[in-house]
């Protein structure tokens, strides 16, 4: 793998500013790698490689004109963006066939901030249909493959981001997370991902649009191959944008000021409902041991309320969402009948994927089956309070990212609730960082979620940096060497 593909965005930007390398060299290396391997991965679904190379040349000219002190933070560094987030001139379908001809006339505010900071966008990446399944597959672009094993999933819905960053073809990217959509792809593809505290980063320009209570559940955030990029990216993206009225929470702290020895680590080994693969459990224990060696106080705990994670997430989504999922599926034509779509799907005639249809049916059944929504909303609030009190200001928790390393394509349909290990994090509204912890005996990424109380983004990122120093972080996939 080209040496430039092994560096962080921060390191690349520094070398570009110091004229050790040119932006053209950096972007060319990433474009060449993407052109070689993306056909197998199907991660970037619409590219702007030629435009990116021209922008790299312009970045080099600007640096020569104004000098290193007058160029922005990520000057000349390439990146990618989840397709469900607006990028000027690019498609914005969120995997919905009825939106396949849309092209955006402006950037989302987060994308605009990345460009203003000097980032050069290589392309947009694949998602699940309407961002609501753990496989990044849809009838617009097809299925995305895992760089460590093409037969395995990349997670959803920011799966294209996870795959292309995990492959080495992008140093960082932008995703969004409503049930694990940043953390799950980061886990399956062996990279870092951060779900920030709710309402620190604006969700403007994302489709589907987060409405009502979902503004606290959906969070926009970064994925990257090196932990040192997490905090600069969160700091860059954070803050009101004048469009998202809910983006009001102020980012505080600094990972550089966090002392691991001052922390209490609470390790939660499972949710009491779904068993966790022994290798994942062992990796989490090694992470706990590593933090203990760094001086942290460690404790193992079980949280009884986590057994209801699916019900808590479902009740939160149902209470917060003003637009029925079947209406989103239908777009401008109005709500679809999921039962009709199921029949059409069985004959290969539906424009929708089976997971989307199944979700539509599940939504319809909620009107007939008692779900105890008020009960579970109260339980969700009680869980937030319980964990906030347990953690305190200097506490973090370790929690499995999934039940097992990346499964084979379509296998999640046989175990459709495994994603609740990440989804409950959205119910908590806490910052959670996904951290890679090496590879399994089958060469698949292992990892763990690191969470803390609302506002402690700097703490979880500091722990991610510490664990990267111990375990090595992202390991380039041999599948692509």
The tokens for 119 are: 């980032």
The tokens for 414 are: 């046989």
Whether 464 contacts 186, CB under 8 Å: no
Low-confidence residues in the chain, pLDDT < 50: none
Dmax (CA) for the chain in angstroms is: 67
Instruction: Give the pLDDT of residue 215.
Output: 78
Q: What is the pTM of this model?
A: 0.97
Residue 358 included in any domain: no
Domain count, the chain: 1
Whether 129 contacts 94, CB under 8 Å: yes
Residue 33 included in any domain: yes
Residue 313 included in any domain: no
Residue 353 included in any domain: no
Instruction: Give the pLDDT of residue 332.
Output: 83
Whether 71 contacts 62, CB under 8 Å: yes
Q: Tell me how far apart the alpha carbons of residues 9 and 75 are, in angstroms, rounded to a whole number.
A: 10
pLDDT digits (tens, 9 = 90+) for 215-263: 789 999 999 999 999 999 999 999 999 999 999 999 999 999 999 999 9
Instruction: Give the pLDDT of residue 322.
Output: 65
Instruction: Give the pLDDT of residue 367.
Output: 60
Active site residue 157: yes
Instruction: Give the pLDDT of residue 214.
Output: 78
Instruction: Give the pLDDT of residue 318.
Output: 83
Instruction: Give the pLDDT of residue 321.
Output: 65
**CA atoms within 13 Å, Cβ hemisphere of 44:** 28
Q: Tell me how far apart the alpha carbons of residues 31 and 23 are, in angstroms, rounded to a whole number.
A: 12
- The one-character DSSP state at 412 is G
Residue 357 included in any domain: no
Which of the following is catalytic: 128, 157, 309, 440? Answer: 157
Which of the following is catalytic: 8, 22, 82, 109? Answer: 82
Which of the following is catalytic: 23, 109, 136, 181? Answer: 181
Tokens 């009107």 — which residue?
367
Q: Tell me how far apart the alpha carbons of residues 75 and 114 are, in angstroms, rounded to a whole number.
A: 10
Residue 372 included in any domain: no
Task: For residue 48, give the CATH number of its domain.
Answer: 3.90.1300.10
Helix 230-237 with 109-116: angle, nearest 10 deg: 120
Whether 453 contacts 388, CB under 8 Å: yes
Active site residue 82: yes
DSSP sequence for 90-133: S---TT-GGGTT---SS--HHHHHHHHTT-EEEEEE---GGG-S
Residue 345 included in any domain: no
Q: Tell me how far apart the alpha carbons of residues 417 and 395 are, in angstroms, rounded to a whole number.
A: 28
Whether 86 contacts 43, CB under 8 Å: no
Residue 298 included in any domain: yes
Q: Of 287, 236, 234, 244, give the one whose Cα is nearest residue 265.
A: 287
Q: Counting runs of H as helices and runs of E as strands, what totals does the chain give?
A: 16, 13
Q: Of 18, 22, 117, 115, give the one whose Cα is nearest residue 60.
A: 22
Q: Tell me how far apart the alpha carbons of residues 268 and 265 are, in angstroms, rounded to a whole number.
A: 10
- The one-character DSSP state at 298 is E
**Residue ranges making up the domain that contains 230:** 3-307+377-480
Whether 370 contacts 311, CB under 8 Å: no
Active site residue 137: no
């Amino acid at each position: 793998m080209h040496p430039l593909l092994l560096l962080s965005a921060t390191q690349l930007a520094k070398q570009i500013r110091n004229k050790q390398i040119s932006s053209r060299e950096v972007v060319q290396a990433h474009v060449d790698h993407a052109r070689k391997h993306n056909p197998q991965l199907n991660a970037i679904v619409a590219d702007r490689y030629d435009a990116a190379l021209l922008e790299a040349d312009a970045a080099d000219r600007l640096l020569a004109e104004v000098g290193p002190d007058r160029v922005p933070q990520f000057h000349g560094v390439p990146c990618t963006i989840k397709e469900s987030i607006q990028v000027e001139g690019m498609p914005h379908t969120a995997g919905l066939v009825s939106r396949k001809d849309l092209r955006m006339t402006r950037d989302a505010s987060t994308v605009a901030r990345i460009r203003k900071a000097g980032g050069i966008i290589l392309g947009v990446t694949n998602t699940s249909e309407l961002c609501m399944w753990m496989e990044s597959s849809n009838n617009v672009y097809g299925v995305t493959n895992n760089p460590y094993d093409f037969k395995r999933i990349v997670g959803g819905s920011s799966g294209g981001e996870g795959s292309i960053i995990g492959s080495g073809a992008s140093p960082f990217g932008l995703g969004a997370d409503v049930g694990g959509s940043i953390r799950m792809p980061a886990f399956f593809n062996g990279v870092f991902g951060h779900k920030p505290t709710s309402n620190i980063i604006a969700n403007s320009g994302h489709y589907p649009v987060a409405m009502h209570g979902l503004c606290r559940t959906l969070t926009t955030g970064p994925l990257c191959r090196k932990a040192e990029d997490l905090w600069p990216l969160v700091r860059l993206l954070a803050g009101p944008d004048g469009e998202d009225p809910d983006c009001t929470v102020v980012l505080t702290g600094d990972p550089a000021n966090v002392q691991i020895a001052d922390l209490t680590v609470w390790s939660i080994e499972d949710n009491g409902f779904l068993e966790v693969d022994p290798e994942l459990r062992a990796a989490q224990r090694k992470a706990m041991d590593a933090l203990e060696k760094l001086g942290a106080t460690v404790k193992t705990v079980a949280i009884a309320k986590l057994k209801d994670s699916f019900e808590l997430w479902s009740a939160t989504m149902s209470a917060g969402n003003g637009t029925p999922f079947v209406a989103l599926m239908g777009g401008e034509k109005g709500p679809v009948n999921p039962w009709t779509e199921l029949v059409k799907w069985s004959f290969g005639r539906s424009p929708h994927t089976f997971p989307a249809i199944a979700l539509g049916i599940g939504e319809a059944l909620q009107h007939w089956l008692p779900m105890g929504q008020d009960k579970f909303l109260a339980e969700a609030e009680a869980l937030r309070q319980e964990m906030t009190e347990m953690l305190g200001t200097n506490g973090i928790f370790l929690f499995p990212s999934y039940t097992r390393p990346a499964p084979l394509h379509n296998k999640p349909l046989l175990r459709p609730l495994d994603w609740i290990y990440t989804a409950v994090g959205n119910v908590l509204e806490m910052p959670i960082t996904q951290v890679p912890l090496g590879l399994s005996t089958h060469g698949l990424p292992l990892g763990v979620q690191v969470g803390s109380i609302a506002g402690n983004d700097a703490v979880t990122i500091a722990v991610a940096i510490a664990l990267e120093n111990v375990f090595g972080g992202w390991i380039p996939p041999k599948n692509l060497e």
